[in-house]
Amino acid sequence: MSDSEFDVRELIALLSPKAIDLRHIPGGFSRITPQDIAARLSRCSRGASLLARAKYANDTASFSKLYFHFVALAAGPPDGPVWPKKLKPGTFTRLINLTVQENVSPGKCGWCNGSAKSLEIDGKVLVCSGCKGSGRVNYSDRLRARMMGIPESTFRRSLVPLHVKLMTIFSEWESEIMAAMMEQNPKVAHYRPTTNPDPEPPLAA
């Protein structure tokens, strides 16, 4: 992966108990620690912090907390900003589950197996048309409706506006995470893999 393709949110994986501490291997990256990342996430809202840990550090405990936090936020009081009064609870629950899956565990694209590329017969490598280069499942309204067990026409007619509102919540959390991880700190903002984790200090002038 080139520097331009690096997603700084991937560093959150260092919070996973199974993560390899790069400071302890030759050529590892030693300028950021799990403590640095935890400190940054502590400045985010509860939803953003839980999303970061559930999605990027694969923390199952955070996933459970995120789910119930999202349900409470989406439903809210009877006059809340998202919950539609005429929507059946079962339908809303399935839409909640779908939205969480889209944002936390989107899965690999079945066309390119997550590579984001497809190989033509003549050997020319092109961006996968199935996922449009994301490497992840390309959720269409047809797929969403099928996952919810309802007709696509019903999803489009009754649930698209609500789905957009729910997705916006996750989008705002992702923005929080990115902003926290990209703060002007050499440890993160100027992250670059290095083969010399402990360079010698510059000579005094």
pLDDT tens per residue across span 84-115: 667 777 888 899 999 998 998 767 676 676 66
Region 138-163: mean pLDDT is 91
d(CA 152, CA 161): 14
Pick 188 or 65 by higher pLDDT.
Answer: 65
Greater confidence, 105 or 197? Answer: 105
Q: How confident is the model at residue 24 (pLDDT cuts 50, 70, 90)?
A: low
Looking at this protein, which amino acid is placed at residue 138? N
Q: 99 exposed, middle or buried (CB, 10 Å; 0-12, 13-18, 19+)? A: buried
pLDDT at 204 over 50: no
Contact between 95 and 139 (Cβ < 8 Å): no
- Rounded to two decimals, the pTM is 0.71
pLDDT of residue 22: 54
